Amino acid sequence: MTKPFTLFFTVQQDEDGLLLRDFLSKHQISKRAVTGIKHRGGFFKVNGKEERVLCQLQTNDTVEVQYPLETANEKIVPYAFPLEIIYEDDYLLLVNKPDGMSTIPSHEHPTQTLANALAYHYAQTNHSGAMHFVTRLDYDTSGLVLVAKHSHIHHLFDRAQEKKEIKKEYLALCTGTPTPAQGEINFPIARVPGSVIKREVNPEGQTACTLYRTEQTYANYSRLRLRLLTGRTHQIRVHLSALGHPLLGDSLYGGSQELIKRQALHCYALQFQHPLTGELLQFTCEPPLDMKRLI
């Protein structure tokens, strides 16, 4: 059984006199979380005694925050699948998602998703909490996916994403050779009218920015390294198609499937600070065989 998620703090000199409410806000505990702790289980303790959020703190006080116990989503049926876990601790995990697998259940793919596979992994490792996807990948895109094991960790990662402190790099194979060999693609993206899935470059869309660098050129395609500065749906796929260099295999956006049967896109690298320890973590994973043989 997973233990309740608990945080411990010591009040510093510059925090002397703060109300507990303001202390919690300073330490990035959201108002929503505070409400949940008050009404759905959990507690706030100061020097071992339960207190209300209007309690005034003094230097060297110890503050303990215990969250309500999270439970797994019963609708996500465990799926025994051999996941490649790149990193895992009590607070987060990083997994190499294969192509041909949805991140979360949908109408088209209600089972056998990454979420279902993680539900099985949770059961096998005796973790009964919820899963919170910090990053996601399309069905046919492979690579690194970051998952928080608790809502507070997810909240901290959301803050980090807003500050662009989570850095993702993609490996891609595109048609032809982009000119210039490196640069910034800054086209707004919107949903195609009448389509649930497809996106397009549209001046009325959301801001989207992609950095790219050509690493190698072949006879009729190129290998790129890309970094997202925003996180729009199908962003890399739409941007490269708009440049006239769609991803190999990406039939939705004009790419030929002669050499590969899915979009040749792989989330290769991920860098972020651990939300609790502050340690800088950097990970990479090799692309699957269908891309490797073209490289």
Kindly report the number of other CB atoms within 10 A of residue 291's CB atom: 22
Write out the two tokens for 273: 């600070």
Per-position DSSP letters for 274-289, written without gaps between them? -TTT--EEEEE-PPPH
CA atoms of 264 and 259, how far apart (whole Å): 10
46 forms bridges with which residues in the sheet? 49, 63
Work out whether the CA dihedral 214, 188, 283, 288 comes out positive or negative. Answer: negative
CA atoms of 147 and 127, how far apart (whole Å): 14
Per-position DSSP letters for 41-68, written without gaps between them? S-EEEETTEE--TTPBP-TT-EEEEEPP
Write out the two tokens for 293: 């043989």
The torsion of the CA quartet 20, 26, 32, 37, rounded to 10 degrees, works out to -40
CA atoms of 142 and 262, how far apart (whole Å): 10
225 forms bridges with which residues in the sheet? 171, 213
Helices and strands in the chain: count of H runs, count of E runs? 6, 16
Write out the two tokens for 255: 């790419």
Residues belonging to the active site: 138
